[in-house]
Amino acid sequence: MIKTTGWRLFLLTFILFSAATSSYGQVAKAEAEIRNIMQQYDVVGLSVAVVQKEDIVYANSFGLKDLETRTPLSNSDIFRIASISKSFTATALQQLAEAGKLSLEDDVSNLLGFKVRNPRYPERVITLKMLLSHTSSINDSQGYFTLNSINPAKNPEWEKCYNSYAPGTDYQYCNLNFNMAGTILEKVSVERFDQYVKHHILDPLGLYGGYNVDSLDGSRFTTLYAYNPDSNSFSPSPSAYAPRREAIRSYVMGQSTPIFSPTGGMKISATDLAKYMAMHLNKGKYKGTRIISKKSAKQMQQEIARNGYGLALTTAKDLIPGKKLKGHTGSAYGLYSAMFFDPKQKYGFVVITNGCSAPDSDEYNKALAATINSLYRHLIEK
């Protein structure tokens, strides 16, 4: 009996040791590939996180947070993540829909308080769902930093904000859609946009981040660098974290919302963004805390537009060959970000760089796409 117990203990120890050694070996291979990718595309800094089910199974940061000071990038450092921010806006609106305060089929004219109609199709209602899926027929040609661009009472050129096709029949990516959606969130919730997201999404999930620069520790901001291919050089983009204090001091609820950029203004670390992703991966719930219902989570992930875009989440069919992922990308000020997950196999990736020379190809930054594929091969597929 003693001999048998000893043998079982030895066997269990051997199995655990072998698994740990194998896992370490796969991590080492992934990290070696990532460093090669960074060298190939002149990546300044790179933060990555891998999720399985509800757990972050791997997180690491490579390269520099700041070129001038040569400060290494760490997992706790914060990025302005650009258009992945749109999913926070849509998630918040799903909460209001579940509470019966609005419907995705509501006419946005009624929600905003001024007429929103494509002049070529004046009888066609533009709904909140159309805004969130970029099928509204609205474009960014008149700008998107203020809703005056689309308000007939404020802009004599308002008609240029609309495309030639009927609302709901085609797709064009449009940032104005989400500054409108964020304004609707504020009008309906009667809570300032940045505060609503903090109180109803970030705080319940235990995440550190936000849209208001002055509410965050500025020492954690990662410097973003725009790449100039002509000189093969990087320039810092300090405007990414502009606090806009004067504009906030004169803030008008339901009007000044674009100041916080519901379309791209979230600041958060890769690891905390991965926890938020895990919530969507698990249909609205993370570590026992439900943010939105399963129905709402599935609705955000459904394919609505012709290219697979849903409600601030899109479907990627070629990012990892043979895999169908849900998520979003972001690019602004030299930053590139990606958040993609498989809701069936329960894994996902967050990859963010503060600057690189890699061009976009078929919607995906080449450095981020290569990194995601390396992480998948070595840590998920094995």
Domain that holds residue 121: 96-188
**What's the sign of the alpha-carbon dihedral 307, 308, 309, 313?**
negative
In a domain, residue 91? The reply is: no
The CATH number of the domain where 249 resides is what? 3.40.710.10
Name the E strands within 21-168.
45-52, 55-66, 71-72, 79-80
Residues 72 and 152 in one domain: no
Please report the pLDDT score of residue 382 as a whole number. 74
Q: Beta-carbon neighbour count of residue 82 at 10 Å?
A: 24
Residues 350 and 218 in one domain: yes
In a domain, residue 193? The reply is: no
The CATH number of the domain where 158 resides is what? 1.20.58
Instruction: Write down which residue in 188, 205, 239 finishes a domain.
Output: 188
Name the E strands within 93-142.
none
In a domain, residue 2? The reply is: no
Instruction: Write down which residue in 188, 204, 234 finishes a domain.
Output: 188
Taking CA atoms, 329 is separated from 19, 25, 83, 264, 309, in Å, by 34, 29, 6, 11, 12
Residues 52 and 124 in one domain: no
In a domain, residue 1? The reply is: no
Q: How many domains does the chain have?
A: 2
In a domain, residue 342? The reply is: yes
Rounded to whole angstroms, the Cα distance separating 204 from 98 reads: 17
Residues 222 and 307 in one domain: yes
Residues 71 and 101 in one domain: no
Residues 232 and 316 in one domain: yes
In a domain, residue 234? The reply is: yes
Residues 38 and 176 in one domain: no
In a domain, residue 143? The reply is: yes
CB neighbour list of residue 241: distance below 8 Å, 6 or more residues apart: 80, 213, 218, 221, 267
- Whole-model pTM: value is 0.93
Residues 78 and 108 in one domain: no
8 Å CB contact between 333 and 226:
yes
Tens of pLDDT, residue by residue, the chain (382 residues)? 445 555 565 544 444 444 444 576 899 999 999 999 999 999 999 999 999 999 999 999 999 999 999 999 999 999 999 999 999 999 999 999 999 999 999 999 999 999 999 999 999 999 999 999 999 999 999 999 999 999 999 999 999 999 999 999 999 999 999 999 999 999 999 999 999 999 999 999 999 999 999 999 999 999 999 999 999 999 999 999 999 999 999 999 999 999 999 999 999 999 999 999 999 999 999 999 999 999 999 999 999 999 999 999 999 999 999 999 999 999 999 999 999 999 999 999 999 999 999 976 667 999 999 999 999 999 999 7
Residues 275 and 352 in one domain: yes
Rounded to whole angstroms, the Cα distance separating 97 from 100 reads: 5
Residues 121 and 266 in one domain: no
Rounded to whole angstroms, the Cα distance separating 314 from 328 reads: 6
Residues 279 and 353 in one domain: yes
CB neighbour list of residue 205: distance below 8 Å, 6 or more residues apart: 275, 276, 279, 286, 287, 289, 291
Please report the pLDDT score of residue 2 as a whole number. 46
Residues 357 and 246 in one domain: yes
In a domain, residue 307? The reply is: yes
